[in-house]
A and B are shown apart, each in its own frame.
Chain A
């Protein structure tokens, strides 16, 4: 089992550029979550999908952020245009909901630095 795969692991970009983060969930999992981790705000849920459909995007900070899940094995989180305050570690997690309390499995994260 390869676990949740995220790419790139590190990204350095300049303010105003578009950034695309990628996630491949564990095969068979049908829920996918995007989190952001910063020193100031801790771990925040940005958006989550169930069966490729966005269920709750209330955590997405603003219109510059968008997320898609075109199929069960791939999701993207896009920031356009990027700003220095977007610098953070972005985690993707997946789970297989059954009766509740399912474990979320986290990827290694993408460390984003916006200059």
Chain B
């Protein structure tokens, strides 16, 4: 079975500063990796995903993530955050092949301060 660890439950950062949200996964087989964002009182929205190919993945709203197989990580980054980026961010994994279930991390609350 696979698992996801998000090391930081809360990340406060000032507006226009860079941010990195950390995600590590555990799996004995190949995986696909995802980052979702959840704004208050809303459902989850896909930010980006890694399926194969280039390890640097660009997503919506200026976010990007880098897949590092040796370190089993998929950290999310943004060079300059805005107040509107305040939300909860979830890393998720699914095994390649026929399985479709997503296993989510516990989430990281990003709070952008003025």
Contact check, A43 vs B51: say whether CB atoms are below 8 A apart. Answer: no
A93→B46 CA distance, assembly (Å): 12
Judge whether B51 and A100 touch: CB under 8 Å: yes
Given A106-B43, A107-B43, do A101 and B49 touch, yes or no (CB 8 Å)?
yes
- Total of A-B residue pairs, C-beta within 8 Å: 54
Check if B104 is an interface residue, CB within 8 A of chain A: yes
A97-B100 contact in complex given A4-B43, A108-B43, A109-B43, C-beta closer than 8 Å: yes
Q: Which of B42, B44, B100, B104 is A95 in contact with, Cβ under 8 Å?
A: B100
Q: Tell me the dominant secondary structure on chain B's binding face.
A: loop
* Number of residues from B at the complex interface, CB < 8 A: 24
Interface stretch of the complex, out of B15-23, B63-71, B72-80, B90-98: B90-98
* Interface of A, helix, strand, loop or mixed by DSSP: strand
Are A45 and B102 touching (Cβ within 8 A)? yes
A contact set with B: CB distance below 8 Å: 4, 31, 33, 42-43, 45, 48, 50, 55-56, 91, 93, 95, 97, 100-109
List the 5 closest A-B pairs by CB distance, nearest first: A106-B43, A101-B32, A101-B51, A43-B104, A106-B44
